[in-house]
């Protein structure tokens, strides 16, 4: 398999890096304190730099290259579409857009049969909230702490994690609640059943004091991703569905990260037999080869806009190149059984392998996940569960996680790190050998984390 770096070219790398440092303003960063790696290429589950170092990508970019980098079928489909129709405005019916919408609608759960296309996840969330508000005539939206929904205005307000703090504009219309997370239970629960019951009671109590008739929507990531890959306890999402039905609240599931095969099913909602009213997606829909996201809309909410115009749109909504990439990606996922692969690797390699690491390393407090979607909670002390680094740590306070990250890279693994967690989120078509290579590198890097326990 030709997944190796071509001859190294440090001079070319230095030029790329110099132009980047001079002119690229990076996301989420203090511009003067970062040192971005210059990447020369990527293929499958790997990428490589200009110095001849190759990395197994256990981040899938930003958890989106579900079929890996440079899949030839999708690259060819984009090239072919570019030759036929590179772009066309969203008000027209065109083949790439209508076919992508059909394929997506046929795979989303229940009656989520209309697709509003966006360029990414945050725009999908913005539009889902707008639809919910217009559908209900209400304004408030409930979202969970320990969540990530995007970085545009409403999406960042809905986001629960600390990245919200600096850019939150007062969270207009957003009320936050605690979703279940047994390992650090907001409800001091000790079993999943207890966690589920108390989390649902807490949601009921929150609604009672907010006024259920003022709530347009409840939004949850089906399995919160960036905040820690916390699979909800059995019954929780069904309970939220019931609460939404009781009060006429729109139930929005954000599947931007968990959707399109990541969890070993098309959508994470498929694990729980729950159908939301609106479902947001992006990332895995075309493995991010061309920016694409969207909202899958129930028949009832779609009907709201049958005779009344929907007041929202985007110039590049359903862009032909992005839609062609989505069509090809869906065919690849089915033809190459990518989703089945994610489920199997999760069950037979990643799950058992990560649990074994947890047994051998004092720094691993918990392993949780499924499919190609796993989190390791790194701690100073397994008994007290004290996180390896303080909440939202930076600089010297974050040194243990930085040391862990550096050790992973030295061992050829590019790790996903968020606060005191590392996530194992490789491409969904990762092979058994690649997954084992990742586990071995994690094993070595965790020995460095162990020094801080």
Ranked by CB distance to ligand PMP, the top (closest) residue is 121
Q: How many residues make contact with ligand PMP (CB under 6 A)? A: 16
Site for ligand PMP in 375-404 (CB under 6 A): none
Nearest to 120 by CA among 345, 283, 343: 283
Q: Which of 254, 270, 277, 377 binds ligand PMP (CB under 6 A)?
A: 254
Of residues 57 and 221, the one with the C-beta less far from ligand PMP: 221
Q: Which of 223, 243, 250, 256 binds ligand PMP (CB under 6 A)?
A: 256
Of residues 48 and 260, the one with the C-beta less far from ligand PMP: 260
217 touching ligand PMP, by CB under 6 A: no
Residue carrying structure tokens 């605690």: 178
Nearest to 44 by CA among 369, 336, 352, 263: 336
120 touching ligand PMP, by CB under 6 A: yes
Of residues 197 and 220, the one with the C-beta less far from ligand PMP: 220
Give the number of other CB atoms < 10 A from CB of residue 270.
19
Site for ligand PMP in 61-80 (CB under 6 A): 62
Task: Kindly write down the DSSP assignment for every residue of 327-381, as one continuous string.
Answer: HHHHHHHHHTTHHHHHHHHIIIIIHHHHHHHHHH-TTEEEEEEETTEEEEEEEEE
Of residues 125 and 446, the one with the C-beta less far from ligand PMP: 125
Give the nearest distance from C-beta 148 to ligand PMP in angstroms: 5
281 with 105: CB under 8 angstroms?
no
Give the burial class of 122: count Cβ atoms within 10 A of its Cβ; 0-12 exposed, 13-18 middle, 19 or more buried.
buried
Q: Which of 122, 197, 274, 285 binds ligand PMP (CB under 6 A)?
A: 122
Q: What are phi and psi of 404, to 5 degrees?
A: -60, -45
Contact residues for 10 (Cβ-Cβ < 8 A; gap 6+): 50, 51
Give the nearest distance from C-beta 227 to ligand PMP in angstroms: 9
Q: Which of 226, 231, 329, 411 binds ligand PMP (CB under 6 A)?
A: 226
Of residues 26 and 84, the one with the C-beta less far from ligand PMP: 26
Q: Which of 56, 100, 112, 125 binds ligand PMP (CB under 6 A)?
A: 125
User: What distances in angstroms separate CA 328 from CA 74, 325, 413, one per listed residue?
Assistant: 5, 5, 28
Q: Which of 103, 220, 282, 323 binds ligand PMP (CB under 6 A)?
A: 282
Of residues 282 and 413, the one with the C-beta less far from ligand PMP: 282
Of residues 46 and 148, the one with the C-beta less far from ligand PMP: 148
Give the nearest distance from C-beta 283 to ligand PMP in angstroms: 7
Give the nearest distance from C-beta 316 to ligand PMP in angstroms: 13
Of residues 127 and 420, the one with the C-beta less far from ligand PMP: 127
The residue range among 160-168, 218-226, 305-313, 327-335 that interacts with ligand PMP, by the rule CB under 6 A, is: 218-226
Site for ligand PMP in 130-189 (CB under 6 A): 148-150
Nearest to 275 by CA among 103, 113, 64, 126: 113
Give the nearest distance from C-beta 120 to ligand PMP in angstroms: 3
Of residues 96 and 143, the one with the C-beta less far from ligand PMP: 143
Nearest to 143 by CA among 213, 221, 205: 221
Of residues 150 and 387, the one with the C-beta less far from ligand PMP: 150
CA angle 19, 123, 320 (to 5 degrees): 75
Site for ligand PMP in 292-351 (CB under 6 A): 293
Sign of CA dihedral 107, 90, 220, 129: negative
Number of H helices, E strands in the chain: 15, 16
Of residues 221 and 437, the one with the C-beta less far from ligand PMP: 221
Report d(CA 97, CA 292) in Å as an integer. Answer: 11
221 touching ligand PMP, by CB under 6 A: yes
225 touching ligand PMP, by CB under 6 A: yes
Site for ligand PMP in 284-303 (CB under 6 A): 293
Under DSSP, is residue 422 helix (H, G, I), strand (E, B) or coil? strand
270 touching ligand PMP, by CB under 6 A: no
Residues 354-363, buried b or exposed e (16+ Cβ, 10 A)? beebbeebbb
CB half-sphere exposure, 295, CA atoms < 13 A: 25
287 with 66: CB under 8 angstroms?
yes
Binding footprint of ligand PMP on the chain (CB under 6 A): 62, 120-122, 125, 148-150, 221, 225-226, 254, 256-257, 282, 293
């Amino acid at each position: 398999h030709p997944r190796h770096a071509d001859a190294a070219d440090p001079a070319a790398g230095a030029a790329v890096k110099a132009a980047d440092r001079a002119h690229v303003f990076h996301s989420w960063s203090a511009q003067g304190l970062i040192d971005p790696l210059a990447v020369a290429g990527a293929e499958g589950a790997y990428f490589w730099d200009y110095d001849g170092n190759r990395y197994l990508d256990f981040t899938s970019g930003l958890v989106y290259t579900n079929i890996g980098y440079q899949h030839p079928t999708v690259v060819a489909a984009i090239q072919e579409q570019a030759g036929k129709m590179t772009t066309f405005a969203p008000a027209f019916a065109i083949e790439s857009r209508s076919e992508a919408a059909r394929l997506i609608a046929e795979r989303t759960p229940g009656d989520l049969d209309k697709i509003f296309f966006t360029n990414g996840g945050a725009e999908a969330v913005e539009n889902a909230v707008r639809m919910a508000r217009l559908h209900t005539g209400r304004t408030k939206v409930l979202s969970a702490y320990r969540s990530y929904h995007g970085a545009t205005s409403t999406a960042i307000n809905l986001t629960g994690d600390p990245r919200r703090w600096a850019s939150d504009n007062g969270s207009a219309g957003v009320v936050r609640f605690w979703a279940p997370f047994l390992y650090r239970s907001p409800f001091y629960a000790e079993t999943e059943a207890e966690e589920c019951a108390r989390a649902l009671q807490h949601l009921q109590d929150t609604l009672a004091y907010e006024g259920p008739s003022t709530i347009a929507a409840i939004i949850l990531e089906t399995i919160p991703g960036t905040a820690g890959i916390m699979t909800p306890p059995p019954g929780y999402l069904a309970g939220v569905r019931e609460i939404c039905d009781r009060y006429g609240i729109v139930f929005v599931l954000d599947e931007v990260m968990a959707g399109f095969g990541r969890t070993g099913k098309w959508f994470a909602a498929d694990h729980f037999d729950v159908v939301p009213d609106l479902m947001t997606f992006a990332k895995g829909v075309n493995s991010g080869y061309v920016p694409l996201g969207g909202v899958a809309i129930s028949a009832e909410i779609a009907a709201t806009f049958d005779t009344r115009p929907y007041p929202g749109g985007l110039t590049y909504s359903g862009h032909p190149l992005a839609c062609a990439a989505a069509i090809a990606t869906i065919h690849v996922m089915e033809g190459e059984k990518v989703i089945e692969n994610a489920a199997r690797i999760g069950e037979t390699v990643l799950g058992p392998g990560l649990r074994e690491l947890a047994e051998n390393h004092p720094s691993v407090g918990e392993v949780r996940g499924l499919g190609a979607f796993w989190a390791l909670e790194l701690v100073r002390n397994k008994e007290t569960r004290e996180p390896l680094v303080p909440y939202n740590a930076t600089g010297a306070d974050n040194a243990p996680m930085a040391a862990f990250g550096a050790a992973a890279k030295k061992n050829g693994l590019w790790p996903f790190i968020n606060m005191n967690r590392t996530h194992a989120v490789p491409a969904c078509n990762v092979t058994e050998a690649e997954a084992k290579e990742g586990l071995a590198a994690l094993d070595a890097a965790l020995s460095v984390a162990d020094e801080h326990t």
